[in-house]
Amino acid sequence: MPPSSLRVVYAFAREMHPKTSDVFIQYGTAGFRTKANLLEHVVYRMGLLAVIRSRVKNGRTIGMMITASHNLEPDNGVKLVDPDGEMLEQSWEEIATRLANVSDNDLESTTEQVIKQVNADMSLKASVFIGMDTRYTSPRLAAAAANGVIALKGTPKEFGIVTTPMLHFCVKCRNDNTYGTPTEEGYYEKIVGAFKNIRDKLPVYGDYNTTLYVDGANGVGGKKLNIIRKSLDGELDLNLYNLGGNGGKLNLNCGADFVKVSQTPPVGVEHAPFQRVASLDGDGDRIVYYYLDDKEKMHLLDGDRIATLLASYVTELLRASEASGLRLGLVQTAYANGASTRYITEELKVPVSCVKTGVKHLHHAALAYDVGVYFEANGHGTVVYSKAAKNAISKIAQEGEPEQRKAAQLLQNFIDMTNETVGDAISDLFLVETVLRARGHGVRQWMEAYTDLPCRQLKVTVQDRNAISTTDAERRCTAPEGLQSKIDELVAAYTSGRAFVRPSGTEDVVRVYSEADTQEAADKLAAEVAQAVFDLAGGVGERPALPA
128 and 240 co-located in one domain: no
* β-strand pairing of 298-301 with 287-292: antiparallel
Instruction: Report how far apart, in Å, the C-alpha atoms of 387 and of each of 205, 352, 367, 373, 394 are.
Output: 34, 21, 11, 15, 10
Residue-level pLDDT at 324: 83
Q: Indicate whether 488 and 470 sit together in one domain.
A: yes
Residue at 408: amino acid letter: A
Is 69 assigned a catalytic role?
A: yes
Domain assignment of residue 181, yes or no = no
Residue 365 belongs to a domain: yes
pLDDT for res 321: 97
Grouping H, G, I as helix, E, B as strand and the rest as coil, residue 59 is: coil
Q: Tell me 325's DSSP state.
A: T
In a domain, 179, yes or no: no
Task: Tell whether residue 502 is among the known ligand binding residues.
Answer: yes
Q: Is 69 annotated as a binding residue?
A: yes
Contact, 318 vs 371, CB < 8 A? yes
Task: Say yes or no: 222 and 357 in one domain.
Answer: no
273 and 225 within one domain: yes
Q: Within this chain, do residues 124 and 195 fall inside the same structural domain, yes or no?
A: no
Out of 240, 267, 300, pick the residue that ends a domain.
300
Per DSSP, the residues of 356-407 read: -SSHHHHHHHHTTSSEEEEE-TTS-EEEEE-HHHHHHHHHHHHHS-HHHHHH
Catalytic residue of the set 4, 5, 21, 69: 69
| 388/462 same-domain check | no
The total domain count for the chain is 4
Q: What is the DSSP string of 254-288?
A: -SHHHHHHH-SPPTT----TT--EEEE-TTSS-EE
The CATH number assigned to the domain holding 23 equals: 3.40.120.10
Residue 285, marked binder: yes
- Is residue 484 in a domain? yes
83 annotated ligand binder: no
Q: Are residues 285 and 225 in the same domain?
A: yes
Residue 291 falls inside a structural domain: yes
| Amino acid 195: pLDDT | 97
Q: How far apart are CA 412 and CA 247, in angstroms?
A: 42
Going residue by residue through the chain, which has 548 residues, state the pLDDT in tens, using 9 for 90 and above. Answer: 444 468 899 999 999 999 999 999 999 878 999 999 999 999 999 999 999 999 999 999 999 999 999 999 999 999 999 999 999 999 999 999 999 999 999 999 999 999 999 999 999 999 999 999 999 999 999 999 999 999 999 999 999 999 999 999 999 999 999 999 999 999 999 999 999 999 999 999 999 999 999 999 999 999 999 999 999 988 899 999 999 977 899 999 999 999 998 989 999 999 999 999 999 999 999 999 999 999 999 999 999 999 999 999 999 999 999 998 899 999 999 999 999 999 999 999 999 999 998 888 999 999 999 999 999 999 999 999 999 999 999 999 999 999 999 999 999 999 999 999 999 999 999 999 999 999 999 999 999 999 999 999 999 999 999 999 999 999 999 999 999 999 999 999 999 999 999 998 767 899 999 999 999 999 999 999 999 999 999 999 999 999 98
Pick the closest to residue 424 from 157, 57, 128, 172 (CA basis).
172
- Are 291 and 276 within 8 A, CB to CB? yes
Q: Which of 300, 319, 334 is the last residue of a domain?
A: 300
Q: What is the pTM of this model?
A: 0.93
CATH code for the domain of 465: 3.30.310.50
Helix, strand, coil % (nearest 5) of the chain? 45, 20, 40
426 and 475 housed in the same domain: no
Domain range for 14:
3-161
Residue 378 assigned as binding residue = yes
377 is in an annotated binding site: yes
Q: Is residue 476 in a domain?
A: yes
Provide φ and ψ at 336, rounded to 5°: -65, 135
Distances, alpha carbon 94 to alpha carbons 26, 32, 114, 184, in Å: 8, 12, 11, 32
What pLDDT score does 30 carry? 84
| 283 is an annotated ligand-binding site residue | yes
Separation between Cα atoms, residue 447 and residue 362, nearest integer Å: 24
**54: annotated binding-site residue?**
no
Assess whether 148 and 69 both reside in one domain. yes
Q: Cα separations (Å) of 36 from 33, 53, 285, 473?
A: 8, 24, 20, 31
Q: Are residues 44 and 116 in the same domain?
A: yes
50 is in an annotated binding site: no
Query: Residue 529: inside a domain, yes or no?
Result: yes
Q: What pLDDT does 403 receive?
A: 96
In a domain, 317, yes or no: yes
Residue 214: CATH number of its domain: 3.40.120
Together in a domain, 10 and 144? yes
Do residues 371 and 328 make contact, with C-beta atoms less than 8 angstroms apart?
A: yes
Residue after which a domain boundary falls, among 300, 333, 354:
300
Give the pLDDT of residue 336.
Answer: 93
Task: List pLDDT tens digits, range 268-321.
Answer: 999 999 999 999 999 999 999 999 999 999 999 999 999 999 999 999 999 999
Residue 505 marked in a binding site: yes
On the CB side of 372, CA atoms within 13 Å amount to 24
Amino acid at 135: R
Say if residue 373 is in the same domain as residue 470: no
